[in-house]
Chains A and B, each alone.
Chain A
Amino acid sequence: MDTVQIALAERAAEEQRHHGKALFFWVWGALLAMTAIEVYLTYERMQPTKMLTILLGLSFLKAALIIGYFMHLKYEVSRMKWLTMCSVIACLILMTIFFFPDARRIVELGVK
């Protein structure tokens, strides 16, 4: 690595030295608790659409905790946060727009 890269890596390391261990244990506990809730809901045999909504909600929450705290995106500069998250979310929205109406069309109209 050149001098600039070493300096940037050292700055990133310096920022991480201030993160306490306890925070990571709290995040891990929250992730385990949300997993336990998901499994509990499965055994409750809820109505599928309602269950899917709750499960996806919890999954996005878990993903946000992992990206924010474990992957340290919360501590990156705003430009990094916005560009990475907006680009991936935009691609997933595009996939949703193209995939799901078509899948539902098969259910409603049948395959010809």
Chain B
Amino acid sequence: MADSAVHDVPSIYEPSLFGTYSKKIGMWLFLLSDSLTFGALLYAYSYGRISLGKDWPTPFHSESIVNATIMTAFLLTSSLTMVLAVRASVHGDAKNQRLWLLATMLCGTGFIVLHGREWTKLIAEGLTLSMFPAVPGQEAASEFASVSKGVPQFASTFFTLTGMHMLHVTLGVIYLGVVALRRKFIPILLGLWLVAWLATPVYSPFHYGAHVLLIAAIVCGIILWLKPKVYDSSDVEVAGLYWHFVDLVWMFIFPLVYLMSAKIL
């Protein structure tokens, strides 16, 4: 009775079950399901670690820890710039909203570049997966070659977990790019794809991974062509929820994967 009364007479004061708009609830539900994906990956990593006990490798030297700390600072700063973008959007300040979104994308890109550089270094040192192409001139006695052979769970869980997170950050940067620049972002994305594809050697996983940018450019192009719109403050807020989630997940990956596997001499 009460329900039908509410639905028959729509009012701007109609109460929502969760007190907010449906786009935001949809994003929260997606993030809850995604948190279980990352939860399962983190549990798989921890399972391997507990099962192997002292045999678990500790390959991250001081240089890796410093690199991962800078990456963390980039992500935390990007969360601050994101929240400032949301704040600018609710105040109707379109110029600052775009600037803060671009700053967030810049921090996210910095994170991806540093992470990619670290992956490249680890792969060159022998920490690799069988699905990755062999690095030419790589010595069998390189530092992590024995780790990849002796404890394959380490490389598998490390690359899956951090790769999944890197993919999320990449998609987040693209999402923010579409919200901030709309159609103008598509040629930029295609340019980034070409640079990433041509600038990485054939044996790098990023050479083929760069095609994610091409696929994203096609998908975003179709979406923007079918449903062109000016993104309002609710869109910026929902994009912000996704971005903060990516930051949140890293708050667990950083200590569990890097700090707990550090070899400080």
Which listed residue (B91, B234, B256) contacts A9, Cβ 8 A?
Answer: B234
Q: Is the CB of B90 within 8 A of A66?
A: no
Q: Which residues of A contact B90 (CB under 8 A)?
A: 13-14, 16-17
Tell which of A38, A51, A87 has the most Cβ of chain B within 10 Å.
A38
Which listed residue (B32, B82, B252) contacts A70, Cβ 8 A? B82
| Chain B residue with the shortest CB-CB distance to A45 | B264
CA of A48 to CA of B53, assembled, Å: 11
What does the 1/0 interface line of B208-250 toward A look like (CB < 8 Å)?
0000000000000000000000001110010011001101100
Known contacts A13-B233, A55-B259: A99-B19 contact under CB 8 Å: no
- Chain B 17-29 interface 0/1 with A at a Cβ cutoff of 8 Å (1 = within): 1111111110010
Is there contact, CB below 8 Å, between A56 and B51? no
Consensus secondary structure, chain A interface: helix
Q: Report if B5 contacts A (CB, 8 A).
A: no
**Assuming A4-B14, A99-B46, is B251 touching A62 (CB within 8 A)?**
yes
Does B109 belong to the interface (CB within 8 Å)? no
Is A47 located at the chain interface by the 8 A CB criterion?
A: no
Q: Which residues of A contact B20 (CB under 8 A)?
A: 8, 12, 76-77, 80
Residues of the A chain whose Cβ atoms lie less than 8 Å from the Cβ of B86: 16
The answer, among A3, A77, A96, A103, for a CB contact under 8 Å with B12, is A3
CA distance A52 to B262 in the complex (A): 12
In the complex, what residues of A have CB within 8 A of residue B69's CB? Answer: 35, 39
From B71-79, B114-122, B131-139, B169-177, the one touching the partner chain is B71-79
Q: A35 CA to B254 CA in the complex, in Å? A: 9
B260 interface neighbour in A19, A55, A99, Cβ under 8 Å: A55
**Is the Cβ of A71 less than 8 Å from the Cβ of B241?**
yes
In whole angstroms, how far apart are the Cα atoms of A96 and B46 in the complex?
10
- CB atoms of B73 and A32 under 8 A apart: yes
Distance between Cα atoms of A4 and B21 in the complex (Å): 8
Which of these binds chain A: B33-41, B157-165, B183-191, B195-203?
A: B33-41
Besides A91-B36, A100-B47, 6 more A-B contacts (Cβ < 8 Å) are A12-B24, A35-B72, A48-B260, A59-B251, A59-B256, A62-B251
Q: Which residues of A contact B (CB under 8 A)?
A: 1-9, 12-14, 16-17, 19, 21, 24-25, 28, 31-32, 35, 38-39, 41-43, 45, 48, 51-52, 55-56, 58-59, 62-63, 66-67, 69-72, 76-77, 79-80, 83-84, 87-88, 91-92, 95-96, 99-100, 102-104, 106-107
Interface residues of B (CB under 8 A from A): 10-14, 16-25, 28, 32, 35-36, 39-40, 43, 46-47, 50-51, 53, 65, 69, 72-73, 76-77, 79-80, 82-84, 86-87, 89-91, 232-234, 237, 240-241, 244-245, 247-248, 251-252, 254-256, 259-260, 262, 264
What would 8 A/B residue contacts be, using CB atoms closer than 8 Å?
Answer: A3-B12, A9-B234, A14-B90, A16-B237, A42-B259, A59-B255, A79-B17, A100-B47
Pairs of residues from A and B, 5 with the lowest C-beta to C-beta distance, nearest first: A77-B19, A7-B12, A55-B255, A9-B234, A103-B50
